């Protein structure tokens, strides 16, 4: 199973943060339009990530604690060329929990994927994913993530605990 250490934070000025990211980046920017359809499931989270380029998607099952600051995420990705058929099957079997639409600008800094996200209905965010090698433990990934937070000048008060889908559900809860 793949692992990474993740951090998500709300961003007040995405353009200013992007300037700092560009100064550190080895790769990018890559602009992605994504729609994540979340399904009800008994363990962790399950989403079908559709890309604006028609005919391609990824089914992603992942488990990650809801906690601010660095946290380990374990995930499996399955690519599909039949997103409509897979979405229909999962909707029928599990039911749709909700949908998250975002414009993501992706950069690479070392082994960290930096996502600058504009999420429909929620606002602007940064997500850091330190992709762990098999020989790396969570503590090493956490050190890398914390150092990058410091270098990007992301205040602790902006760190978030939950996923975008949880935030959307909280907005619509009675």
The pLDDT tens digits of the residues spanning 116-156 come to: 999 999 999 999 999 999 999 999 999 999 999 999 999 99
Q: How high is the pLDDT of residue 1?
A: 83
- Residue 66 above 90 pLDDT? no
Which band of pLDDT confidence, cut at 50, 70 and 90, is reported for residue 173? confident
Q: Span 19-40, mean pLDDT?
A: 96
Give the 3-state secondary structure of 95-142: CEEEEEEEEEEEEEECCEEEEEEEECCCEEEEEEEEECCCCCCHHHHH
Per-residue model confidence (pLDDT) at position 14: 95
CB of 39 closer than 8 Å to CB of 97: yes
* The predicted structure's pLDDT at residue 155: 92
pTM for this predicted structure: 0.91
Q: What is the mean pLDDT of residues 89-110?
A: 97
């Amino acid at each position: 199973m793949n692992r990474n250490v993740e951090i998500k934070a709300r961003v007040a000025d995405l353009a200013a943060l992007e300037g700092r990211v560009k100064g550190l980046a080895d790769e990018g920017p890559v602009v992605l339009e994504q729609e994540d359809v979340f399904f009800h499931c008994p363990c962790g989270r399950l989403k079908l990530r559709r890309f604006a380029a028609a005919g391609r998607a990824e089914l992603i099952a992942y488990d990650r604690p809801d906690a601010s600051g660095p946290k380990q995420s374990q995930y499996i990705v399955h690519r599909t060329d039949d997103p409509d058929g897979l979405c229909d099957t999962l909707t029928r079997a599990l039911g749709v929990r909700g949908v998250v639409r975002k414009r993501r600008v992706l950069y690479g800094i070392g082994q960290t994927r930096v996502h600058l996200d504009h999420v429909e209905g929620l606002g602007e965010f940064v997500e850091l994913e330190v992709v762990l090698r098999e020989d790396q433990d969570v503590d090493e990934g956490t050190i890398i993530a914390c150092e990058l937070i410091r270098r990007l000048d992301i205040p602790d008060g902006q760190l978030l605990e939950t996923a975008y889908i949880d935030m959307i559900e909280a907005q619509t809860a009675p």
